[in-house]
A and B are shown apart, each in its own frame.
Chain A
Amino acid sequence: EVELLESGGGLVQPGGSLRLSCAASGFTFNNYGMSWVRQAPGKGLEWVSTISGSAGNIYYADSVKGRFTISRDNSRNTLYLQMNSLRVEDTAVYYCAKGAPLINNWGQGTLVTVSS
């Protein structure tokens, strides 16, 4: 069974940084692209970033380009999202998702709150 467990969320001040992690199990991690998708409170889903299985292809939404960095450690079956220069509008639940571009499994999400 596929499991995706996010961690690293929390409260941070504007301009601050956070690193999210997603521990994956139940599938051959390095065979799959992985994505981060976020959901602001009361809003819809917004794709953030995708990384291919070998990390050779990486994509970002314009809203986070230059501030967020996606990466993966295939030896640890773990996906990361380094978030710098955080803004109030980055406040959201961040979901780790298996598959790219077809998302076919979702983690439970981790809440990131950017506030002073």
Chain B
Amino acid sequence: DIQLTQSPSFLSASVGDRVTITCRASQGISSYLAWHQQKAGKAPKFLTYAASTLQNGVPSRFSGSGSGTEFTLTISNLQPEDVATYYCQQLNSYPLTFGGGTKVEIK
């Protein structure tokens, strides 16, 4: 099974900051990685796939990058509505797996 390790598990930043979340895979997965956002008490929401292609309607301040075993999700101008937990998900092979999550808060 492919393990995904996210870091940090928690981050606190100010409005307007640039924040970066890292997801590392236990083996190479090409660009087969997605990111999901989950706000407190809500269902997850799909953000990006192929490590870098944004879902329609997702603000352009979100961007994904990476390939192989290391991937990043960057929020370029953190907004209050971005407070959430972010999960990476590999779609390279079954069983599908998720990272442990990164909780983002406003300082």
Chain A residues at the B interface, C-beta cutoff of 8 Å: 35, 37, 44-47, 50, 59, 61-62, 95, 100-109
B38 contacts which chain A residues (CB < 8 A)?
Answer: 45
Residue of B nearest to A57 (CB): B94
Closest 9 pairs between A and B when the two form their complex, measured CB to CB = A101-B91, A47-B96, A45-B98, A59-B94, A106-B43, A104-B46, A44-B101, A106-B44, A108-B43
Known: A45-B36, A103-B46. 8 other contacts (CB 8 A): A37-B44, A44-B87, A44-B99, A45-B44, A103-B36, A106-B36, A107-B43, A109-B43
Interface size on B, residues (CB 8 A): 22
B48-60, CB under 8 A of A: which get 1 and which 0?
0100000100000
Within the complex, what minimum Cβ distance (angstroms) separates B100 from chain A? Answer: 5
Chain B stretch 45-101: residues in CB contact (< 8 A) with chain A: 45-46, 49, 55, 87, 89, 91-92, 94-101
Give the complex CA separation of A46 and B96 in angstroms. Answer: 9
On whether A101 and B96 interact (CB within 8 A), knowing A95-B44, A106-B46, A108-B43, the answer reads yes
Q: Within the complex, which residue of A35, A62, A95 is in contact with B96, where a contact is CB–CB below 8 Å?
A: A35
Within the complex, what minimum Cβ distance (angstroms) separates B90 from chain A? Answer: 8
B43 contacts which chain A residues (CB < 8 A)?
Answer: 95, 106-109
Q: Does B25 contact A (CB under 8 A)?
A: no
Residue of B nearest to A107 (CB): B43
Within the complex, what minimum Cβ distance (angstroms) separates A108 from chain B? Answer: 5
Q: Within the complex, which residue of B32, B89, B92, B99 is in contact with A103, where a contact is CB–CB below 8 Å?
A: B89
Give the complex CA separation of A109 and B46 in angstroms. Answer: 15
Give the complex CA separation of A111 and B54 in angstroms. Answer: 30
Return 19 A-B CB contacts under 8 Å, by A number: A37-B44, A44-B100, A45-B87, A45-B89, A47-B95, A47-B96, A50-B96, A59-B96, A61-B95, A101-B91, A101-B96, A103-B36, A103-B96, A104-B34, A104-B49, A106-B44, A106-B46, A107-B43, A108-B43
Give the complex CA separation of A108 and B38 in angstroms. Answer: 11
